[in-house]
């Protein structure tokens, strides 16, 4: 009893000093702000630290100043209730709700199976379907497009690709912040080639080569170092699905230019296709280059 009394007698002045200095009890000076922050498991209110009441199926958050429900439970008031997952459902990525599995769609509190009609395939998200190329959606089914509709669709796709290519091939510039000088890059040519597997007739890989010019309007005595960053996208169709798929790659090359300099460069990309994909057609859908990481030396 005497030891306990002595301990509290010794601690009391320390607590008074903490309060006088604006540091709350159960606080750690400098954790959250200059006046002192509360220890983990406590929350601050009016310069006081109060112990958190963590309900069942909950845990402290990352900062330790509040609580969150564990995966599989959702917050309801001051409690954590178990997430009720219906048949053919699964826990969502946050862990506080549910989504339907691939091949099912959400209707109320249930997951119903998607009925994919003829000449349609499951969409990329797996929660619906889309008509294959050459067909259009009509009253829950896929009907063949007329020759006129197919022609217009092809024209729209061609115009869109041309517009994207024109935009990507326009000169792309970046400014060096000290001298306000520009470094610009422009794609001058693309070379797209694909190889087929022996005997199978499917593409096994495609290679893209981009040629580009780059220049600067810098007029100083130093050298301008920078990276040219290029991205290409390939559109392809496999035998298992007549809808288009897309793969993209990004690569970079380091370059250097003197005052008012201009040079050329190139960069290659390889897209391998596994035999299981059985790719029947492929085309270059996007190519663009930008300038990054400019430095003066």
d(CA 226, CA 278): 40
d(CA 164, CA 189): 15
* pLDDT band at 145; cut points 50, 70, 90: very high
The answer to whether the beta carbons of residues 228 and 173 sit under 8 Å apart is no
pLDDT digits (tens, 9 = 90+) for 224-273: 999 999 999 998 888 776 677 899 999 999 999 999 999 999 999 999 99
What pLDDT score does 245 carry?
85
Whether 128 shows a pLDDT value over 70: the answer reads yes
Structure tokens at 42: 């406590």
The average pLDDT across 194-205 equals: 81
Which backbone phi and psi does 278 adopt, to 5 degrees? 50, 60
Q: Which 3 state secondary structure label does DSSP give 71?
A: coil
pLDDT digits (tens, 9 = 90+) for 59-94: 999 888 899 999 999 999 999 999 999 999 999 988
d(CA 264, CA 215): 9
What pLDDT score does 234 carry?
92
* pLDDT band at 142; cut points 50, 70, 90: very high
What pLDDT score does 169 carry?
56
Whether 183 shows a pLDDT value over 80: the answer reads yes
What pLDDT score does 126 carry?
83
Q: Which of 6-20, 137-151, 211-225, 226-240 has the lowest mean pLDDT?
A: 6-20
Burial of 112 (0-12, 13-18, 19+ CB in 10 A): middle
Whether 36 shows a pLDDT value over 90: the answer reads no
Structure tokens at 296: 């003066």
Residues 6+ apart with CB under 8 A from 13: none
Which backbone phi and psi does 146 adopt, to 5 degrees? -75, 165
For the question of whether the overall pTM of this predicted structure is more than 0.75, the answer is no
* pLDDT band at 19; cut points 50, 70, 90: very low
Identify which of 188, 190, 161 has the alpha carbon closest to the alpha carbon of residue 172. Answer: 188
What pLDDT score does 164 carry?
66
The DSSP bridge partners found for residue 108 are: none
- Please give the share of the chain, as a percent, with pLDDT higher than 90: 50
For the chain, what is the mean pLDDT?
84
């Amino acid at each position: 009893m005497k030891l306990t009394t002595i301990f509290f007698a010794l601690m009391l002045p320390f607590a008074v000093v903490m309060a006088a200095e604006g540091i709350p009890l159960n606080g750690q000076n400098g954790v959250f702000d200059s006046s002192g922050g509360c220890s983990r498991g406590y929350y601050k209110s009016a310069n006081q630290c109060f112990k958190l009441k963590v309900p069942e199926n909950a845990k402290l958050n990352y900062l330790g100043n509040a609580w969150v429900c564990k995966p599989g439970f959702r917050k309801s008031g001051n409690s954590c209730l178990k997430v009720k997952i219906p048949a053919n459902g699964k826990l969502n990525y946050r862990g506080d709700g549910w989504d339907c599995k691939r091949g099912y769609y959400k209707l109320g509190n249930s997951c119903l199976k998607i009925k994919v009609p003829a000449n349609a395939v499951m969409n990329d998200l797996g929660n619906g379907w889309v008509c294959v190329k050459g067909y259009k959606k009509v009253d829950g089914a896929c009907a063949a497009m007329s020759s006129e509709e197919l022609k217009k669709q092809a024209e729209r796709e061609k115009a869109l690709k041309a517009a994207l290519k024109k935009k990507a091939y326009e000169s792309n510039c970046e400014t060096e912040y000290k001298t306000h000088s520009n470094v610009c890059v422009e794609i001058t040519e693309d070379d797209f080639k694909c190889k087929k597997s022996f005997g199978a007739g499917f593409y096994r890989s495609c290679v893209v080569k981009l040629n580009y010019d780059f220049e600067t309007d810098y007029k100083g005595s130093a050298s301008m170092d920078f990276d040219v960053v290029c991205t290409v996208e390939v559109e392809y169709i496999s035998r298992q699905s007549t809808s288009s798929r897309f793969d993209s790659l990004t690569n970079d090359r380091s370059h250097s230019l003197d005052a008012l300099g201009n040079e050329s460069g190139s960069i290659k990309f390889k897209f391998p296709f596994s035999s299981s994909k059985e790719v029947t057609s492929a085309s270059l859908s996007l190519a663009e280059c930008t300038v990054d990481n400019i430095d003066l030396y």
